[in-house]
Amino acid sequence: MRKLDRDFYRRDTTEAAQVLLGKIIVVNTADGRLSGRIVETESYSFGDPAAHSTKGRTPRTEVMFGEAGHAYIYFIHGLHHCMNIVSHPDDVPGGVLIRALEPIEGIEQMRQNRGMESITALCSGPGKLTQAMQIDKSLLGEDLLGDRLYVVDDGVDVGEIVARPRIGVTLAADRLLRFYPAKYRQWVSRP
């Protein structure tokens, strides 16, 4: 397995949302190593009315305007954290929302973190996966080339990629910017 380098993230955000599928997110926590395969993503490019970056630079969105390959973590609806991977060409903000993972390492810890047993439901949504993986605002801006939170490629071929409308957005809701591999359908938040 190899850790993704900075150049991997310096690409069109929608392309990044597709090539991140099958890669593995790793979080090294006080409770041990947690990891999961990325099986569902959404693209949020600059100019997209649903993207946080479209309204300009704010303290909340500053990370989106920075160097590609960092974590953009935010709290939503007063309930959940969401994780985006900052992925864009230079000087064009954008991010990929990680919507679902297939749990790989630390499954028992993830079950404790979520208070549930069902392995397919552990990480089947953006708030679920951040809770399971102990991802919160303390990781906002984390460089994904570091050792605390990073993404690796184990060479898995995900096969056919399905494109669907994004979930939970009202602006540009019809755009096919949510992606998942057909063969990983059981792990996604919504087919």
Q: Which of 34, 7, 169, 189 is nearest to 90 (CA)?
A: 7
Task: Note the pLDDT of residue 77.
Answer: 77
Q: 69-109: per-residue pLDDT in tens?
A: 999 999 987 789 999 999 988 778 999 999 999 999 999 99
For the stretch 9-23, pLDDT in tens is: 999 999 999 999 999
Tell me how far CA of residue 87 lies from CA of 14, 49, 182, in angstroms. 9, 17, 23
Which range of residues forms the domain containing residue 101?
2-187
The CATH number given to whatever domain includes residue 156 is 3.10.300.10
| Number of domains, the chain | 1
